[in-house]
Structure 1
Amino acid sequence: MDSINLYEKRIFSQNGEDGILEELFSRIGTINRYFVEFGVQSGLECMAKNLVCSHHWSGVMIEGHPLNYQHLRANYASFPNVITHYSFITRENITEIFSQLHVPREFDLLSIDIDGIDYWVWRELAAYKPRVVIMEYNASFPPPLKMVVAYDPQFMWNGTTYFGASLTSLTELGKQLGYALIGTDWSGPYLEI
């Protein structure tokens, strides 16, 4: 595969992830054009917005901050193919949330960006098999350094470099879950297939 960075294009994503995802799915195809994304804030700048607006995907957006969720719900009210859900995600509740929202066991895209316990939540989702996983990693711990925040269901990022997990740690977890790292965008978030 060519370097994914050649395809970076920002439409609604924070960086070039929109173009990377379009190129990736043009190559591997889709099974149901279904996504789950959590940590979406208002949903105006996220991984799934381009897929929803330009490619007519369906799926679930989950947000745990009350004001952000109000904005998210309003911003996607005209998209009946998108379910918005208010919940603060932990490893204890994520599978119940997926079950409650009828998330299929196999779907195309999972995007995780909750600035903290991302590693632990992803690990809890081992029974689900998204084809592509995209998530933020902590670049303060470059490869080969390993770092994962201690699990705390109340974790809130405080603006320091103590959040999430290193790329090496997430790559190792990805291998355990059956994924391979295909790269990062120029600024950090990474894709697993």
Structure 2
Amino acid sequence: MPILRVIDLDRRKPESCYLQDARRDVTSQFGEDGIIEKIFEIVPPANRWCVEYGAWDGVYLSNTYHLVHDLGWNGVLIEGDPAKFAELETNCAGLANAHPVQAVVGFDNGVDALDDVLAGTDCPHAPDLASIDVDGADYFLWQSMKAYRPRVVVIEFNPTVPNDVVFVQDRDLAVHQGASLAAMVELGKRKRYELVAVTNCNAFFVDEPLFPAFGIEDNSIDAMRANVTGRIFHGYDGTIYTKMRPLQWVGRGDTRPPIDVFQLLPPEERNWHDKLESQQTDSADGEDDD
């Protein structure tokens, strides 16, 4: 049996990812609450408004609950699922600074984009924070924001994709595949945002003029995040090998695909080209002898 293992690559620089030291959860999942607090220690809030799309019930894994419920920020909390929106309203009852909105946000400006939803609220055009977490089309929702420009953006990315892979799912809210961190960074650059922190599946971006305040000289992906393992390669003879983690979020136990699943060539066709050439030469020599 061949030997196959993947060496984890961790090129993070402590001085680049120091914001992760502030991680703590009130209702967030991977320490986002603490990082948000630290960010606004470095760049104080301008208006104390936040937006969360994919607010769910306003509590579970929320990146804005602490701001709205504990720190008194105004929050536009957008949720499309009717049952979860009912829970959101209940959890925000009596809070004048909480502004629940039931809406399924799309990508077409002038119709149903985030800009259009926010236009129906009192949210300023440069809210301090926007959190986008819809388990799929997050990339396109941020891309669609033009009239509104949050000072800080927290957005979910697909954590299974290696640092050097740009992946963006189809532009479809019904698809739940996500986008890679590299794709989010490219989008951020085009929108003039800079990466300042990364958790397991959330990236934190700040408006470009705010970035110098963080003193981060290298905010490249490898300096901010350890690369994930997962490789596919092939031998000289065409045999495909794979080393992957179990599939996440599908609820089926260990779903690491067996090597046989990836074979493009049947065993009899997996031959090293030099061996084939040698066989052809031997065959030709045999014919000459006849």
Aligned to 1:126: 146
1:167 equivalent in alignment to 2:181:
yes
1:24 equivalent in alignment to 2:39:
yes
Farther off after superposition, 100-109 or 9-18: 100-109
Aligned to 1:160: none
1:34 equivalent in alignment to 2:78:
no
Q: Taking structure 2 as the reference length, what is the TM-score of the superposition?
A: 0.62
Residue 117 of structure 1 aligns with an amino acid whose one-letter code is A
Question: C-alpha separation between the residues in 1 aligned to 2:58 and 2:184?
Answer: 25
Aligned to 1:112: 132
Question: C-alpha separation between the residues in 1 aligned to 2:175 and 2:83?
Answer: 16
Q: Deviations over 1:129-173 (max 9, x none)?
A: 111000110112121101101112x4153xxxxx12100000010
* Contact map agreement 2:169 2:175 (CA 8 A) in 1: no
How far does residue 117 in structure 1 lie from its aligned partner after superposition? 1.0
Aligned to 2:174: 155
Question: C-alpha separation between the residues in 2 aligned to 1:51 and 1:32?
Answer: 12
How far does residue 68 in structure 1 lie from its aligned partner after superposition? 0.5
Question: C-alpha separation between the residues in 2 aligned to 1:155 and 1:98?
Answer: 22
Residue 59 of structure 2 aligns with an amino acid whose one-letter code is L
Aligned residue runs from structure 1 range 133-144, under 5 A: 133-144=153-164
How far does residue 59 in structure 1 lie from its aligned partner after superposition? 1.9
Secondary structure (helix, strand or coil) at the match of 1:20 reads helix
How far does residue 102 in structure 1 lie from its aligned partner after superposition? 3.5
Higher normalized contact order (CA 8 Å, seq sep 6+, divided by chain length): 1
CA RMSD, 1 decimal: 1.3
Query: Of residues 66, 78, 81 in structure 2, which corresponds to 1:62?
Result: 78
Detail structure 1 runs of 4+ shifted over 6 Å in the superposition: none
Unaligned runs of 5+ in 2: 1-14, 207-290
Aligned to 2:244: none
* Contact map agreement 2:156 2:201 (CA 8 A) in 1: yes
1:79 equivalent in alignment to 2:95:
yes
Aligned to 1:189: 202
Identity of aligned residues (%): 32
* Contact map agreement 1:126 1:177 (CA 8 A) in 2: no
* Contact map agreement 1:141 1:166 (CA 8 A) in 2: yes
Secondary structure (helix, strand or coil) at the match of 1:15 reads coil
